[in-house]
Chains A and B, each alone.
Chain A
Amino acid sequence: MARLILLGPAREVAGCREDVIRAPDVAGVLEQARERYGSAFAELLAHSRVWRNGILARDEDLVTDQDEIAVVPPISGG
């Protein structure tokens, strides 16, 4: 299980800032997120970075209840 954090445009297409997803690894979290939020989200996700606890994640990274998986679309600060 992981806490999913959705930033900026990902927050908008998903319709929520945070969510909780039960999956064993990062790939599983993202798969369920695509199913939950639909094709617009899936398209955005393909162009986004995915962080696990603030660090670039790999699909095979395991997730626990304490982990935060963030969907980080291209940024536009400053």
Chain B
Amino acid sequence: MAPDASDWVELVDGDLSVAAADTWVRRPGAGAVVTFSGLVRDVSDGRDEPVTALEYETHEPLALARMRQVVAEIRRRWPDVAAVAMLHRLGRAEVSDPVVVVSVSSPHRAEAFAAAQFGIDALKVSVPLYKRDIWSTGAAWSATTQDAVDVPHG
């Protein structure tokens, strides 16, 4: 999916480029970029064995629709935001691989920090994504889950 002029929302089946998102949100009027990236850790809450990889799945139209709602809410709350990139990985990712990127540009840093934090927080509570923990001798759905809620609207 080619990113449009102001927002780039994508589910990526393969390597996720944090640098590509960070670069893509640059705009002539934007003096600040804040990029959050979430990485695979070798620990998973509630599991003793070290995690070696994670594997993500979803129903893409539902997840993309929710991600677009999060971006729309960012634009409603912070009208000065110049561009938003929100990318999440699908499939298998190894330890230290990025699995989610939220990158926001704006004229000044305050909106970019606030919008990027809102973006990742809202994604985690509202977008239907599912991860399996994979370790040396097995695999299971993540024990760290939360009920899916509507995109926070305030």
On whether the beta carbons of A9 and B130 are closer than 8 Å, the reply is yes
Chain A residues closer than 8 Å to B62, beta-carbon distance:
5, 7, 51, 54, 70, 72
On whether the beta carbons of B131 and A76 are closer than 8 Å, the reply is yes
Tally of chain A residues near chain B (CB < 8 A): 19
On whether the beta carbons of B57 and A77 are closer than 8 Å, the reply is no
Q: Does A24 count as interface, using CB distance less than 8 angstroms? A: no
| Alpha-carbon gap, A56 to B124, bound state (A) | 17
Chain B residues closer than 8 Å to A74, beta-carbon distance:
145-148
Q: In chain A between 4 and 62, which residues have their CB closer than 8 angstroms to a CB of chain B?
A: 5, 7-9, 11-12, 17, 49, 51, 54, 56
Chain B residues closer than 8 Å to A5, beta-carbon distance:
59, 62
| Alpha-carbon gap, A75 to B58, bound state (A) | 10
On whether the beta carbons of A11 and B128 are closer than 8 Å, the reply is no
Chain B residue nearest to A51 in the complex (CB): B62
Q: Does B51 count as interface, using CB distance less than 8 angstroms? A: no
| Alpha-carbon gap, A5 to B128, bound state (A) | 12
**Which one, A8, A72, A73, A77, contacts B88 given CB within 8 A?**
A77
Interface residues of A, Cβ cutoff 8 Å to B: 5, 7-9, 11-12, 17, 49, 51, 54, 56, 70, 72-78
Interface residues of B, Cβ cutoff 8 Å to A: 38, 56-59, 62-63, 65-66, 88, 99-100, 120, 123-131, 141-142, 144-148, 150
